[in-house]
Structure 1
Amino acid sequence: MSSEEIVNKLGEKYSPLSGECQRDFISHFNYLKIRKGEVVVREGQYSDKAYLILAGCSRAYYIKDGKDISDWFAFEGEFMSSIVSFFQHEPSPHYVEFVEDSTVLEFTRDTIDSLSEKHHDFERLISKVVTQTMLGLRERLSSILFNSAEERYNQLLSIRPDITNRMPLTHIASYIGITLETLSRIRNHKKRI
């Protein structure tokens, strides 16, 4: 897929970009291949980079009391970054890891700032990306607070039916706030039905 096609798809998903804005954006991003298991941000590290995933998937996670806790997954057409570090210029509270071999567009906070200042359509696109991300995280939090373990798993499957083929079950369990054993029981129960 060409750079122009990638940026057009981005505009279709979030908000259209003018031709001039598309050209400016293309001139500011890096096209990267990232290997499965590569950690691009570590806890305590400052990061001014964000990634638009073209192929593959990633996750953000914390290490708490020696446990690995996933709190964000991103797939094709979605963005991944250390939000706190990227937007607030603070050390990252979590890690960002690519779970599959991935192809991404990498760009910096300075790129976002300069393109947003120059192009209102780019500013609108970023606003929609941030809003969608916040709504997704809010939905996940509501699910953890108000839904049973099985309801959380079913909700995740309804949004991302292929997730068990792409993310290890340990990451899925921690993402929905349950133990791996509980997830195994839910999955075995579903198979028997």
Structure 2
Amino acid sequence: MDLLLNHVNKYYPISQEAQHALRDNFEEIVLPKNELLLQEGKVCRHMYFVQQGCLRSFYNLNGKEITHWFGFEDDFVTSFHSFITQKPAIESLQVMEGSVLWAISKDKLTALFNQHHEIERLVRIVYEQYYIRLEERYVNAQFKTAQELYENLLTQNPHILERVPLGYIASFLGMSQETLSRVRNRL
């Protein structure tokens, strides 16, 4: 929990009272490798902070899994659309390594917004960071070549290559494993 509070204060410093409120409302969850944190079609009722481990979000398209994002230590993760709208998720969240997460329900978070406006501001900043990553991913997918996408991954997120199977990386980059292999061989 201390890692979560330290990380929160990097986003936006909050009062001791708000920190205690967060401490009282987050619960620790320990999950084994390959566990589904959320299954497509279910409503996402929690936001998570990754203390340890790795997760991925993926969609099913005609029986094929399409990786949307990865989450690692110090990331806030959820199915944002489902969490915000409380409608069934169109994605699944999978734990890729044994993981330690801190979870807070939508109801508890909403109650904290009403009690501590600084927590509302903090979560807005988390949402903004998610949106920025989403927009960067969209722009990259539209305008960069396969090699540029891979080079960008190498420079900005090399840890992904150490922790994620290449098949998931290829899917995340929007290319086949064969294309990814050719790009890697060229570099």
Name the TM tier (shorter chain): over 0.9
Q: Is the alpha carbon distance of 1:186 and 1:131 closer, same or farther for their aligned partners in structure 2, counting shifts above 3 Å? A: same
Is the CA contact 1:4–1:22 (under 8 Å) kept in the aligned structure 2?
A: no
CA distance in 1, matches of 2:179, 2:22: 45
1:163 to 141, 160, 163: 160
1:18 to 5, 15, 26: 15
Deviations 1:136-163 (A, max 9, x none): 0100010000000111111122221121
Q: Is the alpha carbon distance of 1:39 and 1:17 closer, same or farther for their aligned partners in structure 2, counting shifts above 3 Å? A: same
Residue 6 (structure 1) aligned with residue 9 (structure 2) = no
CA distance in 2, matches of 1:109, 1:157: 35
Q: Identity of paired residues, percent? A: 34
CA distance in 1, matches of 2:39, 2:6: 32
**Deviation of residue 84 (structure 1)?**
1.6
Residue 153 of structure 1 corresponds to which residue in structure 2?
150
**Deviation of residue 36 (structure 1)?**
1.0
CA distance in 1, matches of 2:4, 2:141: 34
Residue 59 (structure 1) aligned with residue 67 (structure 2) = no
Residue 111 of structure 1 corresponds to which residue in structure 2?
108
CA distance in 1, matches of 2:4, 2:172: 29
**Deviation of residue 4 (structure 1)?**
3.5
1:174 to 171, 174, 184: 171
**Deviation of residue 5 (structure 1)?**
4.5
Is the CA contact 1:10–1:77 (under 8 Å) kept in the aligned structure 2?
A: no
**Deviation of residue 88 (structure 1)?**
0.4
Secondary structure at the counterpart of residue 59 of structure 2:
strand
Residue 67 of structure 2 corresponds to which residue in structure 1?
70
Residue 137 of structure 1 corresponds to which residue in structure 2?
134
TM-score normalized by structure 1? 0.93
- Matched length: 187
Is the CA contact 2:3–2:51 (under 8 Å) kept in the aligned structure 1?
A: no
Runs of 4+ in 1 over 4 A off after TM superposition: none
**Any stretches of 5+ residues in structure 2 without a counterpart?**
none
**Deviation of residue 72 (structure 1)?**
1.3
Secondary structure at the counterpart of residue 150 of structure 1:
helix
CA distance in 2, matches of 1:127, 1:81: 14
Residue 38 of structure 1 corresponds to which residue in structure 2?
35
**Deviation of residue 165 (structure 1)?**
1.3
